[in-house]
Amino acid sequence: ELAGLDTTDPLTGLAVTGPVPAVPPTAPASSAVALERAECLHVLQEEVEQLRQAIASRPVIDQARGILMATHGCTSDEAWHILRETSQLSNTKLRDVAAAVTASAEADGPPPSPELRTALQRAVARRRRG
């Protein structure tokens, strides 16, 4: 053994004698490594879910952009900014704004809520001025 070497296993708190086992037999479930891995796993699972939602909502957002481009004679980027600003002004998720815009474009589609309609009008007016 090396002089001054700490032979305490950081996972179990017990002194290690002989070769270090591959998996500590009495490692507590709440060890720092296990907690860190569980936290990383949770963060990654949340990110995967957000990406799945983004992929699922992408076609609706693209349709709404097309509707805004045709209705207001704007570019794709301007339509994106209108959707994003409407989302922010109305405190509504962008995919919900896009869904309301596409639904209202259908023959018998429901109009957007008054709050959403006001936010959309403000966003369009700002794009025309800017």
Residue 14, pLDDT score: 61
Whole-number average pLDDT of the chain = 84
Please report, for the chain, the start and end positions of each structural domain, with discontinuous segments joined by +: 58-129
Among residues 4, 28, 8, the alpha carbon closest in space to that of 17 is found at 8
pTM comes to 0.63
Q: Which residue has the higher pLDDT, 28 or 80?
A: 80
Q: Tens digit of pLDDT for each residue in 38-64?
A: 899 999 999 999 889 888 889 999 999
Among residues 124, 127, 73, the alpha carbon closest in space to that of 97 is found at 124
Q: Tens digit of pLDDT for each residue in 77-103?
A: 999 999 999 999 999 999 999 999 999
